[in-house]
Structure formats: C-alpha cells, structure tokens
Amino acid sequence: MLSVRSLPYAIEDRPACLAVFDSNTPHFFAPEERPQYSEFLQSLVLKRPYLVLRQGDEVVGCGGLKVIAQENTAFLSWGMVARHYHGKGIGRFLAEARLDLARSIREVETITLNTSQHTRGFYEKLGFTATKVTPNGYAPGLDRWDMILQVK
C-alpha cells in the first residue's frame, strides 16, 4: 500500500531518502550532488513541504516543493523514486501530489523545475516546457533542463 507523509519532514527519513538518491546515481544524479542533497535534507526540518512516499515500511520516493511568493512561483525540488520502483507509476504519483500542492497555493502562477535529459520527457507529459538547456549542466554527460508549467 502506497502512502504519502508530508509536513513535517522527519529527520529519521534522511538515511532512506539518501538511499533513494544513491539508487539513482550516476544515471539520474551526479555523485557530486550528494553533499548538496544531504545538506538540503538536513535543512528541511519544519521549513518546507517534502513528501516521503512509502510502500509498507520502505521509502520508495521523495520530493519537495519550494514556494517563491515574490515571484508567484513554486519550484519542484529533489524529486526521485528508488531505481527498482521506476516504471510503476510512483513518479507520476509523486509529481501529481506536488503539483496539486502547488496549485492549492493561491499566489502560485507558475511551477518550475530543473531536471536532466533522462526525465525531461516525463515532465513534458505533465505539461512542462523547456526554457533552457545547459549541456553537461550537472556533470559530464548529464544535461540540465530548466522547465516551466503555467498554472494560471
């Protein structure tokens, strides 16, 4: 059974979220991004929404949302699904949960994200369009795609 736990982010989720990250390295994340992600998780406690998806006792995915009120936008941050759960609809579930959360915030007019060439097609199917592509933007062979979705 899949369940979602959001706020507050529990620090005890950190090892499991790092394991999800590790399962997606190096294909979806560069190894040098791990310290940044680890620091991000450390800073999350009670500060912003971060969803943790579980199947039974196992964390199978996680992803955040940062609202930038002065820009009327929300930013999807650090979304990922454990590698052995890819292709089972969990990524779509996670993305839609974060999109629903962003759309529920009156001030949000756009939703932005950055991702790699490996997942940009996934986000295009959700309505995102590319605004910028940076070859090798994360690491050699791992391009950065900046994307946007208009919600209002």
3-state secondary structure 120-151: HHHHHHCCCEEEEEEEEEEECCEEEEEEEEEC
Confidence at residue 44, expressed as pLDDT on a 0 to 100 scale: 75
DSSP single-letter state for residue 10: P
Using CA atoms, how far apart are residues 97 and 126, in angstroms rounded to an integer?
12
Confidence at residue 46, expressed as pLDDT on a 0 to 100 scale: 52
Topology adopted by domain 2-150:
Aminopeptidase (3.40.630)
The tokens of 135 are what?
A: 């070859």
The tokens of 143 are what?
A: 């391009």
Cα distance between the two ends of the chain? 34
Confidence at residue 122, expressed as pLDDT on a 0 to 100 scale: 97
| β-sheet bridge partners, residue 77 | 64
Confidence at residue 63, expressed as pLDDT on a 0 to 100 scale: 94
Residues of the chain scoring pLDDT < 50: 7
Sign of the CA dihedral running 125, 126, 130, 134:
negative
CB 112 within 8 A of CB 147: yes
Residues in the chain: 152
pTM: 0.90
CB 62 within 8 A of CB 52: yes
